[in-house]
Homo-oligomer: A and B are copies of this chain.
């Protein structure tokens, strides 16, 4: 007997109220009745997480991260219980679990813990009893049995990791959009849904703010080759498959344009041009759990250089504190910040074999007199930091420049 396990993940908006919970239950039950063993991962109901954070800040200006995790983990625990109840009303057996109960073991970094291991024994036992298993996303426990949370998009990570641990045939990520688009359809009406996308491209899209799925989970999916299906919880249409191999790859230069507005730019002036300077700054930021995104350092003048990088705005206060401390220690100059920026990127594995992609992007911006403040490139991505007020227009311009919306492409 081959077991056909499907892991489904539903985000907070899919379970925002009792009616939506019932709709999700219906979908889960239908999947089960199509002969699959179903494991469901759910986020907290609607805005519950934000409400809990508000509550914490009504009690203290600086909540302890351990206690914040304790508090936030209740959101997903509510969802799993309610979804199990809704499934029961439809005549199927279902059982809910917290992260701790299904052995989702993490490291000790509260509020952004890293997955260490999953002991799926309990889930396998329950599936064998023909039950639908519902697991609280976003949460785990450390070795000390303290509750931890996985940070933004943590429920995706839970789903992918469970799909890998259970060798699921697919991990379905349900969202409020139909799949992955060439650009944000709210910004670019001509944007098209992609039928397939590679892990690498999706990884870049995700970390660049395509908001459909979180980068860490795609990274895990890629590493273990977990097939992902990003689709809408409000329709039965196929969404976008994220897989290793993508067909008809040769003629694709750029798959999509993404925009990120939640980052701030930090600049350290006059960093001494000696080995180890950057390591000291970014090492200390990493130790304090700050994820630095784009880093740009240009050639030095007179034995010193300016170093710029971006971080999510929420991390700006801690970033500034640490960066100023290190800057003073290593004899660098002033540390300045700029929150009026946006990051626009194009992503596509075709870039590897097609030249002139960057030039086409920069020309399109120049024609629109949009100034580029920072540039950073990878094998399959080009990112530019620009003024935030030009960001939406820039996305439309670039989308058009690469002909992304023009025809139904083969992929």
Contacts and interface: CB of A to CB of B under 8 A. Distances in A.
A84 B64 contact: yes
Interface in A10-50: 18, 21-22
A82 B71 contact: yes
A260 B385 CA distance: 70
A77 B84 contact: no
A74 B70 CA distance: 10
A58 B18 contact: yes
Contact of A66 (B21, B71, B82, B95): B95
B78 A77 contact: no
B59 A18 contact: yes
B88 A55 contact: no
Main SS class of interface, A: helix
B56 A82 contact: yes
| Identical subunits present | 2
A161 interface: no
A77 B61 CA distance: 20
Interface string A64-86: 10111011011101101110111
Contacts of A88: 60, 62-64, 67
A77 B81 contact: no
Contacts of A63: 85, 88
Most B Cβ at <10 Å: residue of A63, A68, A74, A147: A74
A74 B67 contact: no
Contact of A78 (B71, B81, B101): B71
Contacts of A18: 55, 58-59
Given A70-B77, A81-B67, A81-B70, A59 B96 contact: no
Nearest to A96: B70
Interface string A347-361: 000000000000000
Nearest to A18: B58
The 10 A-B residue pairs with the shortest CB-CB distance in the complex, in nearest-first order? A71-B81, A74-B74, A70-B81, A18-B58, A60-B85, A67-B81, A67-B84, A60-B89, A63-B85, A59-B86
Contacts of A82: 55-56, 59, 67, 71
Nearest to A76: B74
B145 A59 contact: no
A357 to B, nearest CB: 49
B52 A78 contact: yes
A77 B66 contact: no
